[in-house]
Structure 1
Amino acid sequence: MTDLSGKVALVTGGRSGIGAASAEALAEAGARVFTAQRGADVQFEFFETDFMDSSAPARLIDQVIETAGRLDVLVNNAGLMREGTVLESSPEDWDATLQVNLTAPFLLTKAAMPHLIETKGSIVNIGSIEGIGSNPRHPAYCASKAGLHGLTRAVAVDHGPDGVRCNAVAPGWIDTDLNVAFIESLGDPDAFRAKIGDIHPLRRTGAPKDVGALVAWLASDAADFVTGQVWTVDGGRMTQLSLP
């Protein structure tokens, strides 16, 4: 059973999409949930945070500890995607993507670790199947997510002896508001839905709650012997080969 009663959780980018679904699942399991992102969160306690600012992660962890007195779960979800091949992408695009997707999780983990050691806590990083494969024109995003998967394993190895677990979730196509809006902007949304459904053995795309449920389980004592893993949540997309 996923039980997080009495635990305190922080979800970055927790106002929408996968972050919101993760925050909801953690709260349903009994956790006190904080989110952190640009702007307010009408559902959970929140701290307005700009992860382009390298000083923000340490400040954010201090705010959570000052408010709640402890931290048990860190979910590194906030992310950025800028499209373009290596020829099209600027160094600024590269730096911004890695700052938000990889450096911020590193700095958050660094600041949170002493508190997570105290509570024997858990980290869940939101990676991507693009940390395993690649869609076109996503070099910076793919590099950042592959790096986040590597960071996950390194933290699990280094801090397992301290009682801290660290896992990652690698979602595939998830019907976030952003993705749904993209589909609706196309000339024939129904045809696109059918096409993208066909590349999934389950013949459908995922919902944010599909990821959130796994995040909550990984954060809980039900997954007490699970660490250093990257959990793919993609409806079998990465398993199904294309036709010859």
Structure 2
Amino acid sequence: MERFRNKVALVTGGRSGIGRAIARRLESEGAKVFTAQRGKDDEFESISVDFADPSSAAALVEEVAGRAGRIDVLVNNAGMMQEVLAEDMSLEEWERNITVNLTTPFMLIKAALPHLRAVGGSIVNIGSTEGLGSNPKHAAYCASKAGLHGLTRAIAIDHSPEGVRCNAVAPGWIDTDLNMDFIESMPDPTSFKAGLGRIHPVGRTGTPEEVASLVVWLASEEAGFVTGQVWTVDGGRMSKLSLPG
């Protein structure tokens, strides 16, 4: 399929993990893909951006639009996470998390809306199951992802009448390089990996490509009647009630 022939997509944080899988899938279906992150990406047209500076958003959008002539798809994937108790987190750390995970995506959406409106484009925000629940020591991350889910609904309500759809995907445990490195850091990686599988009804963790499949569908015209939704991709984990023992 080439659902994105002659279309232009901007994927933030597209150099690795879920972002890389999304960028590859969009390109395989005909899109001209730009990735944006700190540093260079040799696989796609790449723009180096520090997402801790929300003022970078407008310049990024205008550079992509200037080079490609249009923007059809915006995927807000770039993010960060810190593991620290709320009482031990400084205001500066809190603000950096909120900026990278929520404020900069807002600014990117704001800058991209005129371009998306012109072509009937689509926004997909990468949220998290931690916008719905929480792991320990993730106060700022959870707050920012819950905010991103709320922003998704608000943008859909305001701009779907103009032809711009906005949805979010909330991944659970996905086998990104970062998560695999975390598993390997455990005293018994094999046992830890098996334990992760047991907390998921499907019996395993997810892949970046599985997240990308949903993101690309949401961005496509096949999902033309879908907007303002948060789609959970977690192997059923959030639906599973815990039992004692």
The TM-score with structure 2 as length reference comes to 0.98
CA displacement, residues 65-92 of structure 1 (integer Å, 9 cap, x when unaligned):
1100000000000001111111111111
CA positional deviation for 1:54: 2.1
Residue 75 of structure 2 contacts residue 124 of structure 2 at CA under 8 Å; is this kept in 1? yes
Q: Distance in 2 between matches of 1:128 and 1:96?
A: 18
CA positional deviation for 1:2: 6.7
Q: Distance in 2 between matches of 1:186 and 1:136?
A: 17
* Structure-to-structure mapping, 1:19-98, within 5 angstroms: 19-98=19-98
Residue ranges of structure 2 left out of the alignment (5+ in a row): none
Residue ranges of structure 1 left out of the alignment (5+ in a row): none
Residue 47 of structure 1 contacts residue 60 of structure 1 at CA under 8 Å; is this kept in 2? yes
The residue number in structure 1 matching 2:239 is 239
Residue 125 of structure 1 contacts residue 168 of structure 1 at CA under 8 Å; is this kept in 2? yes
CA positional deviation for 1:171: 0.1
The residue number in structure 1 matching 2:114 is 114
In structure 1, the residue corresponding to 2:146 is in which secondary structure? helix
Count of residue correspondences: 244
The residue number in structure 2 matching 1:191 is 191
> Is residue 202 of structure 1 aligned with residue 202 of structure 2?
yes
In structure 2, the residue corresponding to 1:175 is in which secondary structure? coil
Q: What CA RMSD, in Å, does the superposition of the two structures yield over aligned residues? A: 0.8
Q: Distance in 1 between matches of 2:219 and 2:134?
A: 28
Counterpart amino acid of residue 201 in structure 1: P
Q: Distance in 1 between matches of 2:177 and 2:25?
A: 18
Residue 2 of structure 2 contacts residue 28 of structure 2 at CA under 8 Å; is this kept in 1? no
The residue number in structure 2 matching 1:101 is 101
The TM-score with structure 1 as length reference comes to 0.99
| Greater mean deviation of Cα atoms: 84-93 or 119-128 | 84-93
* Structure-to-structure mapping, 1:101-180, within 5 angstroms: 101-180=101-180
Q: Distance in 2 between matches of 1:99 and 1:80?
A: 10
CA positional deviation for 1:195: 0.7
Counterpart amino acid of residue 3 in structure 1: R
Aligned residues: percent identity? 65
Residue 13 of structure 2 contacts residue 36 of structure 2 at CA under 8 Å; is this kept in 1? yes
In structure 2, the residue corresponding to 1:15 is in which secondary structure? coil
